[in-house]
Amino acid sequence: MFNKYDNTGFHSRIKGIDQKTLVYGERTLMTEFRLKKDHKVPRHSHPYEQTGYMIAGEMILTIGSTPYRCLPGDSWCIPMNMEHQAEVIEDSVIIEVFSPVRKDYLPERKESR
What confidence score (pLDDT) does residue 77 get? Answer: 98
DSSP secondary structure code for residue 113 in this structure: -
The two beta strands, 29-35 and 84-99, are antiparallel
* 55-97 confidence digits (pLDDT tens): 999 999 999 999 999 999 999 999 999 999 999 999 999 999 9
Round to whole Å and give the CA distance between 82 and 44: 8
Round to whole Å and give the CA distance between 13 and 15: 7
What confidence score (pLDDT) does residue 108 get? Answer: 75
- Does 113 have pLDDT greater than 60? no
Domains of the chain by range and CATH?
A: 11-103 (2.60.120.10)
List the one residue out of 90, 74, 83 whose CA is nearest residue 34: 90
